[in-house]
Structure 1
Amino acid sequence: MERDAVSAPWIAQQARQLAVQQGHALLLQGPSGLGQYSLALDLARTWLCEEVTPDGGCRRCASCHAIDVRTHADLFALLPETVMLELEWPLSEKAQKEIDDKKRKPSREIRIDAMRDAIEFAQRTSGRGRGKVVLVYPAERMNMVTANALLKTLEEPPGQVRFVLATEAAHQLLPTIRSRCLSHAMRWPADDEALTWLQGEGVPAADARVLLRAAGGRPEAALGLARAGRTARAWSQVPKAVARGDVSVLAECTPPQAVDLLQKVCHDLLAVRTGGTPRFFEPADLPAGGTTQALSAWWRDLATEQRGAEHPFQVALMLEALVARARSALHSAQP
């Protein structure tokens, strides 16, 4: 397994500031794509590092290496199983066996079994003597039972354990959990700072600015678009392709990603129709059709689709239906 990538400068800066904070629980919050997970992992690395530098974890000692290879005895990653697999964290033996035996699919929620394991971990003695860390991400994926189990631990924390919760939807967390954490709002980097970083990550300069706009100014989300194969040219063609009813424009999207993309098209069209400025696309990229009434109805329809997008009955049919409804809205005649 390769080491985790060096964090973006604005993430490293926040980690330096937060590493000296007192308290047993820290809540990192902000929109997706701002680096909550990266910051949470940087903090865990710094708190557990054996040779801490002024910039945080040294990335050379045995502790930092153990985090890189996902074997640190004093770090517990409390994530949904789908996210654990994506980020290369090992599942528990029981969970891995159930999935391997096809008894169930990886969970998109943080399961109560995993929470019980985290609580048991928090009560153990530190293996390396530098305390313990429980990293919870995305914290909004806890259901009510799981969240209440965590709440009891936050109310009476065992010694030598720190919790870092990272969320992209803080409003979905229990107010009692939020009240027991020191809260930190993720910093938005300046466009120039984000563009420099994106180019350093291998995104061509011609694509970086367009994809940063496509991601609403969120650099990690822009990098995700680039790594998914999006280019500036391909992105600019999306709205008119949707207006033509071209389903292939969503071919590489998961259902949630497809809904998100269509919401961006709809948002920008509504902005233009009401005298505003588009946020995700250039004005010339947008089709001419679509009444305000039809676009508003389409927006409400997409909001409904968003709630069930994680579990569609048939992905291909869902994508076809999404594009068909989009085309209908975009071809509504202007009065």
Structure 2
Amino acid sequence: MAEAFPWQQALWQQLAGRTQHAHAYLLHGPQGIGKRAMAERLMALLLCQRPEGLQACGQCKSCLLLAAGSHPDNYVLEPEEADKPIKVDQVRDLVSFVVQTAQLGGRKVVLIEPAEAMNVNAANALLKSLEEPSGNTVLLLVSHQPSRLLPTIKSRCQQQACPLPSREQSLAWLEQALPDCDEQERLELLSLAAGSPLAAVSLQAQGVREQRALVVEGVKKLLKQQQSPSQLAEAWNAIPLLQLFDWFCDWSSLVLRYQLTQDEEGLGLSDMRKVVQYLAQKSNQGKVLEIQDWILAQRQKVLGKANLNRVLLLEALLASWAMLPGQR
């Protein structure tokens, strides 16, 4: 059964305690806070033949089939490949499932994640099933970026924001999840994950601290003219493009913040504080704003799965970054 996170307790009591459920829920919030686990727990409860309080029993035929991944009244829709869109043909297969009669005589439950991965045609193909699902069907949509969903999708769902854990809750959970990391490492990972503890665990698994060290060293060499944008673009080939844009967006925001406040407590993680302060002191604020706008625009293209030339994009970013000092 999916993990029950302590920061979800109040929301779980609210959702699981209902006597009558909506035909479609949209569970949304930042990535890495446990939305998928919440959806899976709710899915198990809705399918369970003998629920115990607010939990699935785990022992009935329905629970055993679900645990085995062979429940005939359960359908999970995801991209066929990581970071690819959900296609219209996949949604048509789902619609065929929705119109069928439940084989175990109870509910049918559909889980779609991430909902924003549906392209326009796929989303439109889902609309009728969202509005009038056949029989006793509940659709659970999980979204990390609800702003990317069609308004017609959102309007047909009961929208439910999922809570972000407090810093204390996240660190307590990470202490159990990452026992080999010390407190400072867990703090850094949580900061890099924007406060999402499950994302912090995922980042640790992919070696984010080592990747970050490589990028920080490269930025320092770039500003000292010891490495070129093209050299760094090649050296960072294994680092996710979205992650790079997130870091540069964060650094440009910190530069602007320091230019406006001179607050040394707001310089971000220790690895880039001196660089951020240096850029804030040596750069024209208008130029920093221009670069930040450009970064945000390119980041949206990355999120939208645009067909981008990664090397050229990074070279353009780094060339602009290298020109910041002295542009006052």
TM-score normalised by L of structure 2: 0.81
Aligned residue for 1:270? 256
Confirm or deny that 1:219 pairs with 2:197: yes
> In structure 1, which of residues 195, 198, 210 is the aligned counterpart of residue 188 of structure 2?
210
Could you tell me which runs of 5 or more consecutive residues in structure 2 were left unpaired when the two chains were aligned. none
Q: Do the aligned partners of 1:195 and 1:209 also contact (CA within 8 Å) in 2?
A: yes
User: Letter of the aligned partner of 2:48 in structure 1?
Assistant: C
How many Å separate the matches in 1 of 2:15 and 2:204? 30
Q: State how far apart, in whole Å, the 2-side matches of 1:334 and 1:179 are.
A: 47
| Deviation by residue 1:167-198 (Cα, 9 ceiling, x = unmatched) | 12222323232222211111011111111111
Contact 1:79/1:138 (CA < 8 Å) preserved in 2? Answer: yes
TM-score normalised by the chain length of structure 1: 0.79
Which secondary structure state, in structure 2, belongs to the residue aligned with residue 125 of structure 1?
coil
Cα separation, 2, equivalents of 1:270 and 1:14? 37
Q: Secondary structure at the match of 1:27?
A: strand
What amino acid is the match of 2:185? D
Contact 2:111–2:141 (8 Å) recurs in 1: yes
Shift in CA distance, 328/24, structure 1 to aligned 2, threshold 3 Å = same
- Aligned residue type for 1:301: W
User: What code does the residue aligned with 2:122 have?
Assistant: T
1:322 aligns with one of 300, 309, 317: 317
Distance 1:176 1:256, change over 3 A: same
**Aligned twin of 2:123:** 147
Question: What is the CA–CA distance in structure 2 between the aligned matches of 1:210 and 1:59, rounded to whole Å?
Answer: 37
More displaced, 145-154 or 59-68?
59-68
Query: Residue type of the partner of 1:274?
Result: L
SS of 1:77's partner is strand
- In structure 2, relative to structure 1, the CA distance for the partners of 1:64 and 1:286 (3 Å cut) is farther
1:295 aligns with 2:288: yes
Letter matched to residue 255 of structure 2: L
Distance 1:274 1:126, change over 3 A: same
Match of 1:244 in 2: 221
8 A Cα contact 2:211 2:239, kept in partner: no
Q: Cα distance 1:279–1:164, how it changes in 2: closer, same or farther (>3 A)?
A: farther
Going from structure 1 to structure 2, the CA distance change for 1:316 and 1:121 (only over 3 Å counts) comes to same
* Equivalent-residue separation in structure 1 for 2:175 and 2:158 (angstroms): 34
Q: Structure 2 matches for 1:31-180, cutoff 5 A?
A: 31-54=30-53, 56-59=55-58, 61-83=60-82, 108-180=84-156
What's 2:162 paired with?
186
Say if 2:3 is the partner of 1:17. Answer: no
| Partner secondary structure for residue 159 of structure 1 | coil
Measure, in 1, the Cα distance between the counterparts of 2:297 and 2:190: 27
Relative distance call for 1:219 and 1:6 in structure 2 (3 A) is: same
Contact conserved, 1:24 with 1:157, CA < 8 A, in 2?
yes
Paired amino acid for 1:108: K
In structure 2, the partner of 1:201 is 177
Q: Taking structure 1 as reference, are residues 74 and 192 closer, same or farther at Cα in structure 2, changes over 3 Å only?
A: same
Q: Is the 8 A contact 1:112 1:146 kept in 2?
A: yes
CA 1:237/1:28 → structure 2, altered by over 3 Å: closer, same or farther? same
Where 1:81 maps in the other structure, the secondary structure is coil
**In structure 2, how many angstroms separate the alpha carbons of the residues matched to 1:46 and 1:38?**
12
The one-letter code sitting in structure 2 at the alignment partner of 1:220 is L
- The residue type paired with residue 296 of structure 1 is L
Deviation sequence 1:183-218 (CA, Å, 0-9, x none): 111101111111111121125233111111222212
The answer on whether the counterparts of 1:15 and 1:56 sit within 8 Å (CA) in structure 2 is no
- In 2, distance between residues paired with 1:77 and 1:268? 40
The number of aligned residues is 306
Contact residue 29 and residue 169 of structure 1 kept, 8 A: yes
Q: Residue 86 of structure 2 contacts residue 119 of structure 2 at CA under 8 Å; is this kept in 1? A: yes
When structure 1 is superposed on structure 2, of 68-77 and 271-280 the one drifting more is 271-280
Rg comparison, structure with higher value: 2
How many Å apart are 1:119 and its aligned residue? 1.0
RMSD across aligned C-alpha pairs, in angstroms? Answer: 2.9
Q: More displaced, 196-205 or 319-328?
A: 319-328
Contact 1:198 1:208 in 2 (8 A): yes
Cα offset, 1:263, TM superposition? 1.5
- Aligned partners of 1:280 and 1:57: how far apart in 2? 43
Give me the identity figure in percent. 29
C-alpha distance in 2, partners of 1:180/1:11? 24
5+ residue gaps, structure 1, are 84-106
Deviates more, 1:152-161 or 1:288-297: 288-297
